[in-house]
Amino acid sequence: MTVPDAPPVAGGFDPRQYTTGVPYDACRVLRDHCPLARQDEPDGIKAPPVRPT
């Protein structure tokens, strides 16, 4: 079984993407294409997988 790659979405750790509020469109892309996603934190530590709500 393979997992499809999600389209590129800005990382959830970049505060600039929240300047106009919660990035609901980016969350929707992740939810639609990759409901279980792992992101690298800026310091290189892997974040636990989470399911966007």
- Could you tell me which residue, 20 or 47, shows the higher pLDDT? 20
Predicted local confidence at residue 31, as pLDDT: 81
Predicted local confidence at residue 38, as pLDDT: 67
Q: What is the pLDDT of residues 35-53, one digit of tens each?
A: 776 666 666 656 566 666 6
The pair of three-digit structure tokens given for residue 51, joined into one six-digit string: 């399911």
Distance CA 11, CA 6 (A): 12
pTM of the model: 0.47
Q: With cut-offs at 50, 70 and 90, classify the pLDDT of residue 32.
A: confident
Predicted local confidence at residue 1, as pLDDT: 53
